[in-house]
Structure 1
Amino acid sequence: MTNDNTIELKGTAAANSTVTFYDGSTKIGTTTASSTGSWDYITKVLSDAKHTLTATATNSSGQISAASAAVAVTVDTKAPAAPTIAKDTVNSSNQAVVSGTAEANSTIKVYDGTTQVGTATTNSSGAWGLTTSALSAGSHVLTAKATDAAGNVSVASAAVDPVIGSGTSGSTGSGTSGSGTSGSGTSGTGTTAPAAPKIASFSTDSGVAGDHITNDKTLTLAGTAAANSTVKVLDGTTQLGTATADANGAWHYTTVALPDGKHSLTAADTVSGVTSKASTVLDVTLDTAAPDAPVLLSDVTSHHRATVTGTAEAGSTIKVYEGTTLLGTGATGADGHFSVTTSGLKTGSHTFVASATDAAGNTSALSQPIDPPIGSHGGNGTSTVEVTNVRPHWDHTATIKGTADPNSQIKLFDGTTSVGSVTAGDNGKWSFHTSDLSGKTHAFTAEQVDTTGHVVGTSSGEAIIGTGRSNTLTGTTGNDIMVGKRGADTFEFASNFGHDVIKDFAARGSAHDTIEFSKGVFDSFASVLSHAAQSGHDVVIATGSDTLTLKNTQLDKLNSHDFHFA
């Protein structure tokens, strides 16, 4: 079990064979064994789940080996919920005796401020308890964190504040005094009600975690109560059912199917026939109704992006698609209006639809489509504005060069933010010097505008510039110029990526870059090599009408570690 979702595999196979990797029956990538038969491969990002990984080897004659023995790996990157501290007392040795609940079989560490003062392991029900090391006299603030089997650490629990050395005061009973010449009174006794139980959590809190709005009709409650007591669970004044707390006081209860609406859940526990006060109310709103499909109102286009506006259920999340490809995400305001700007689009006709997902996680049907044309020109004719080169500088700035109509005005955008303008020369060439680009990646596009300010052309691609650290730079469907700068960068390309250039691809060294093709483009290193050629100082990889140029790169220096296939 691991919280690393990119797994490095190493092994041996027949010398120079092609090693193919599978997750179950799904092919996830390939690499090539060395002349000694050794190989290693780093997977793409794997989902949180159990993965059964195997490998086969294919020799130069096309013969495929039997599958290797399977390696079962469980990926878990989700941190556990914060523990609860249900009870804390102080013993005669100036130690705090602390107990509570957390994720089952997790490791609990209790801290006094930032100092660890105890550790324990939860049982299969999630209950835990420990006695801290001796504490100094005075007030202390204790919190707990849970670490799951994969090594993910929760946020800290709510704090408790035991006081050491203050002493404890006992309680005294009250009696009824007798009367008479020599009579004596007798002390009365009573049965003390148990402390009110706690509802610590419920599941599943679908949609937006923590908002207590869910589309799960059967809720599972977890909490603490007096050990071995009977816990009654109520919705308002209606009893839903009962559960029995275990020897550590932990209990769980799953409701019957509840109707849509607000539910006020409480719990009370009974010991020796005496019932506690009710717990603090847990309010949960159940909503299983999908919202109406969004209504798309407009689709203004600019620098190869479309801004889609419309209306949908207030507070819902909007996703805009072209086919099955997600182009952008936004949220509706209190008035139900939204605006989503898409990623870069290729020149031509497009058809968009949108869905709405409410706070409970219910998703609507798709909207009626709209079809904005991308890259169309105004009445003054066509434009040939393009980005042709990028040159980074030592001071974290860069010079972007391009072409357009002679003497035309060019506006530059970083994403959707306007960053300046230049005028093309008599030969149609233009150059723009950026401000400081450190701290994040940047994607520049260019627009040509006429004398009235109307856009008459937009560059088909982008100038994409990294930070100098390890970045992921994703190509568009236009003609992109990409500079990762220093750092181990990943350059991503999907189908129909255009005519792209990587100016500083590093095929070796500590800052070793990687090119990731979607499997619709290439699915193996051998396939890449069959479409690659040396062109002067550069390597050109061509597929269909698309090309990727690696500047100042030698074809014989490339190997399978330089490529991933997703």
Structure 2
Amino acid sequence: MATKKKTKVVVNSNGRNIDHTVDAAESGKAPLKIKVGKGAKYLLKGEDGFAPENVTLTRVGEDLHVTLEGETSPSLVLEGYYAQSEPVGLYGVAEDGQLYAYTGTDATSEVFSLAEGQSTAVALGGDSLGSGVPYMAGAEAGAGNDFLGGLFPLLITGGLAALGMGLIAASSGSDGDPGFVGPVAPEPQPPGKPGFDSLSAYDDVGKVQGPIPHNGKTDDKRPDFSGTGATPGNTITIYDGGKEIGKVVVDGNGNWSLTPSKDLGEGKHSITITESDAGGREGLPSDPLVFEVDTKAPPAPGWNGQGIGDVIDNVGSVTGSVPPGGATDDQRPEFKGEGTPGHTINVYDDETLLGSVQVGEDGTWTFTPPTDMKEGDHSITITETDTAGNESQPSKPFEFDVDLSAPTRPEVGGAIDNVGEITGEILPGGVTDDRQPELHGKGEPGGTIVIEDNGTEIGTVDVDEDGNWSFIPPEALDEGEHSIVIVERDPAGNESKPSDPFDFVVDITPPDASKLAITGVADDVGAIKGHIASGGTTDDSHPVVSGTGTAGDTIIVSVKDITGEREIGRATVDAEGNWSLQVDKALLSGPNEFTAVEMDPAGNKTEPSAPYDVTVDLATPPAPVIQNVQDDVGPRTGMLQKGELTDDAQPTIIGTAQAGATVKVYDGTALLGQVVADATGKWSLTPETALADGRHDITATATNTVGQTSAPSRAVRVQPCREPSEQARRA
């Protein structure tokens, strides 16, 4: 079976030769594709170093398809051939050893002017461009020779200067030609897009240092940028928002680093990098690393600079809040305060940093010193450090005295409830819903604390080197009363006297929901006061809500209005089982639905009570209108005209007002009577007492169902005159 001949494309670019093998189209393989590059030169050669004499060229889009002699389909595609600004010629070495250009056998079909889908046959022809032997020898010399470099002046000499690139084709029967150097090299491409891991930024300024995360903050105006995995010798260009801020050459290990020569501005920055090869080809930009430069320190923490909100004593017989200037036997009191979520609170004792804590999402923080505070006076201040590392000025100091009077026997310092809504220290004799509370206390370092509950040992724990111990029961405590007593045993087995008992009650039963109810809402505003039944209306936006429950429990009252549901306050049930709460924050106009939840001292809760609905109406009704005054006495009756006298000392006054409102009619300041406007807003009133002869200015006001009273109406003048003459009536 005959061996199919193969063609090698030798590409000369930047002084380097690269061989590509073109498989015969009949082999079933896809044609070799080469992108036409600016300034590159091409040579096709075979085993004998000569090019085929006949080649067919076809234009397909911007590409040139090359079909070799004896084949029916293209074996080679020159991509972007027709995208070049100057014609690209085809060349070969003929059997006479001379270099020729391929020219069209049909003089009317020039290669560079072919239309879409048009083909033309070409063959070596025209004038010789010189001896082809150097090119054949150069090709065989391998990738180190720039044998095509001399082609360019030959093309000029041969009158082909317009052909900015050359391609020369030949056939070869063997892949073992000494001119084929190494694997097929691809057309030179720019470096690829750097991966996200190939770009990082490092903050080495201020309190917070280290890697700057994506979308993070930094107070370093000149962070160190670095990356790995790049090609040694290539150039990394760094951009900030598309503007170049620096360049650096990749070292021999593929690493690079750069610090900007100028400060980055305050605010957001979007950093990208590109990688460029030695030929100046720049790759695509990396994904951006976005961060914010923030060098503005936050304000001093706390209200008016008073950063410490509370200091809690958790040790000894006296626990709870330590007042400013007070004393404590707790060497590790619990400090509390408020700050900006995500910021760091730094706690100082005089000028010594005790530690740091992050502000929670709710804007609060709690800090317990990691080591005992020394006996004596202490002045605690805090600073707040934002996520960029900017530290505020110190807060105002919170001063107190640590006074240690160590007991001669171990003590149960307390128990911590970590379950439910009510957590924290359990007071002696208190209640908890935590069946495994954390017991803690003090003893002699190195000793062993034996813990008993109601006389039964439930475990042991060692006292640490600071004299502290803590213990969580391995099994849940039963519901009911518990009395914790401890003794300390030294390494020799000697035991101390028992400590004073620490008593508490485990309560996991919710309160009796049958006793919980909202029994009333009281109005204390306006003309109408007193009890408001469920479903009623009030003009009091701060009413008193009352009800019943279990003595000693806490009632949590909520209201649901047009904005949603919210807690409005808490009250304690008294010894008689009653409670009341005045609404502190004004209720909104419209429907308000009150519910209550009962919580016992352990933190157990009932389901919400039945709702109690009240509508708040704060709108003042409009002033009523006196439309007419009607004379119902004597020979002449009917509606009085303006200024007309009347012989009716008790005329009927007619008008309109808000439907359902109580209309009060006045003669000056004297009340003549009141009447309720009907469903259409109409009303009328006849004075029970006769008006004296003379002028009377009649006005009216309207009071709605919740007691809101309008402004007076416009006055209507009535002039009774009981003289019998018609002339007197008209006077």
Same fold (TM over 0.5): no
Larger Rg: 2
TM-score normalised to structure 1 length: 0.40
Q: Which has the higher contact order (CA 8 A, sep 6+)?
A: 1
TM-score normalised to structure 2 length: 0.32
